[in-house]
Amino acid sequence: MKERLVGGRRAVLAVLGTVLTLSLSAPAQAVGTAGAPAQGVPEGTVTVEVIAANGSGCAPGTAAVYGNHDKTGFRVRYYDFEAAAGGDASPTDRRKNCQVGVLVTVPAGWTFAVAQAEYKGRAKLNSGATGLQKTNYYWQGSSANNRTEEYFYGPLNGYWDTQDVAAGLIYLPCQDQKVLNINTELRVDAGSSSGKSTMSMRSSEGDVDTLFNFSWIRC
């Protein structure tokens, strides 16, 4: 496993071979002051659902979200998200994108921010080819967003994993419901390589979910 720092983010490259309703009986731990970070998760129900998904990398029905059972976040699964270049790939295959709108509904008295995101996928890049994974996510109507942009270089055949830790936590105002837009792009450049090179985020290829982790606070 190779680990490196990229622009303040920890990127890890490992060459290895719709609605979900959640509830948890254990109570959340209290905080000392209102608005301070909570050492726990809210009581009650948290729901996560896809409001919209569109783009060349996610045809209808090929992107879904699933909440973590411990209410610490959610995961996005793509079922047909792959970019390719070289070989029999068409020019339109070299760049694929998918924007997913996710609505998270939380119990009264709590709100959250996205504290960390982790993106996983698989790459088969021939010598001389390059791949790009680029993601930004933001609250609907907000100009503040988090961005990740990572390049990969052939020869490479295995899983990749990048992580983005939010520089500043952006909490939703209490009682607000806004859509979290997640816009992801995969791109492959054949360069001087021969044959077909690919970069994907398809869940059918193993544990390649995109993960979003919450930071909870009481209102």
Worst-scoring range by mean pLDDT, 10-14, 65-69, 80-84, 110-114? 10-14
Identify whether the C-beta of residue 117 lies closer than 8 Å to the C-beta of residue 146.
Answer: yes
- pLDDT confidence of 40, banded at 50, 70, 90? confident
Residue 141 and residue 138: Cα distance in Å, rounded? 8
pLDDT at 133 over 60: yes
Delineate the domains of the chain, giving CATH numbers in brackets. Answer: 2-21+44-218 (2.60.120)
pLDDT of residue 16: 33
Q: Across the chain, what does the average pLDDT equal? A: 81
Q: What are phi and psi of 49, to 5 degrees?
A: -145, 150
Tell me the β-bridge partners of 119. Answer: 162
- pLDDT confidence of 31, banded at 50, 70, 90? very low
pLDDT of residue 201: 94
pLDDT of residue 37: 52
Read off the tokens for 185. Answer: 């792009």
171: helix, coil or strand? coil
pLDDT of residue 83: 97
pLDDT of residue 9: 37
pLDDT of residue 166: 76
Instruction: Identify the CA nearest to 135 among candidates 105, 96, 172, 170.
Output: 96
Strand residues in 40-167 grouped as ranges (E):
45-54, 63-67, 73-78, 82-85, 95-105, 110-125, 130-139, 145-153, 156-165
pLDDT of residue 33: 32
Identify whether the C-beta of residue 188 lies closer than 8 Å to the C-beta of residue 128.
Answer: no
**Residues 168-185, mean pLDDT to the nearest whole number:** 87
Chain centre to alpha carbon of residue 77: 9
pTM: 0.78
134-159 per-position pLDDT tens digit = 998 888 877 777 788 999 999 999 99
pLDDT of residue 75: 94
**Residues 198-211, mean pLDDT to the nearest whole number:** 88
Residue 206 and residue 74: Cα distance in Å, rounded? 17
Identify whether the C-beta of residue 159 lies closer than 8 Å to the C-beta of residue 122.
Answer: yes
**Residues 114-128, mean pLDDT to the nearest whole number:** 95
pLDDT of residue 29: 31
